[in-house]
Structure 1
Amino acid sequence: MAFEDWTSEKESEIFTEKTAITSAYESGAFYKRELPCIISLLQKIPLKNGDLIIVDGYVTLNDEGKAGLGGYLYEALDQKYPVVGIAKNEFNAPDSQRRSVYRGESKTALFLTAKGADVDDIHLKVEQMHGSFRMPALLKKLDQLSRA
């Protein structure tokens, strides 16, 4: 899904692809299962300078540099595009680059990490995304589309 601005109400494009998952779930290695699907879809999208990619999950997992799905994606794309991770569940290792984002009246945070972009700048932008609930409206729609 693409959108023009962080405050956009509606997406500008939706990209879909049905991809066979070729790797079984492996605890602690979520990226092995999901990354090939994401890369396959991104190869069909004309990415340009200034584009940023948001993933459902983490980019960094701890202060020791352990990568999450978004970190592996950032490397797979040769660090050309910033990758932002927005996770719904907290990862328990300390990460000085992780930010908790509270939106609307929710007392439950979203967890934000990034590579190639300033996490504090992105934090403000995620707070401003359209929708009055914890999950921004466009990200909720994306989540629903990915489960369909």
Structure 2
Amino acid sequence: MILAVDVDYRDSGAVVAGVGFEDWSAPDPEQLYRSKIESTLTYEPGAFYKRELPCILTLLEEHQIETELIVIDGYVFLGEEQRLGLGAHLYSALQQEVSIIGVAKKPFKDTPAEAELLRGKSVKPLYISSLGLPLTEAKLLIQTMHGDHRIPTLLKRVDRECRKSTQ
């Protein structure tokens, strides 16, 4: 299974969601997961992973999700220097057994041009990074995802799911 994840921060906590799917071109997920996180760290510039990584790991553990690849909202590597981003830290936390694709909506300082991916009729690129599979393959997989617009349908869906209340 492939898992796309996203986190929505609320007050001092967060809601993390995941959509599971087998087919990259699927319009709908096969599985939906959501976990409420009572307390998160505050945002630290340049160290976003410290805030988001525990949320993703909680979702995986709480729902006992087994996956071969995770798509995150963000970067695996940051900038031209390829500093470790959220995706690289997630890859390490999962003992380098699960491939990670980062899909970012905004460029990080000095993001290399090869990270850019145009989808649909958009002139504004997505920024793709990966670990566990080549960047060219990661870009092709994101390109083939369902949806006629810049953001693939399932990535929009996981964004909506994390914004829902968990009560």
What is the TM-score normalised by the length of structure 1?
A: 0.91
- Conserved 8 A contact 1:83-1:114: yes
Is 1:42 equivalent to 2:60 in the alignment? Answer: yes
Structure 1 residue 124 displacement after superposition? 1.1
* Cα distance between partner residues in 2 of 1:77 and 1:95: 26
* Cα distance between partner residues in 1 of 2:81 and 2:116: 19
Query: Match of 1:2, SS?
Result: strand
- Conserved 8 A contact 1:21-1:37: no
* Cα distance between partner residues in 1 of 2:98 and 2:41: 25
Instruction: Report % sequence identity.
Output: 39
Query: Match of 2:21, SS?
Result: coil
What is the TM-score normalised by the length of structure 2?
A: 0.81
Is 1:71 equivalent to 2:88 in the alignment? Answer: yes
- Conserved 8 A contact 1:99-1:112: yes
Q: Which has the higher strand share?
A: 2
* Cα distance between partner residues in 1 of 2:82 and 2:124: 26
Give the count of matched residue pairs.
145
The higher-RCO structure (CA 8 Å, 6+ apart) is 2
Structure 1 residue 93 displacement after superposition? 2.2
Where do 4+ consecutive residues of structure 1 move more than 2 Å? 62-65, 93-96
Equivalent position amino acid for 2:49 in 1: Y
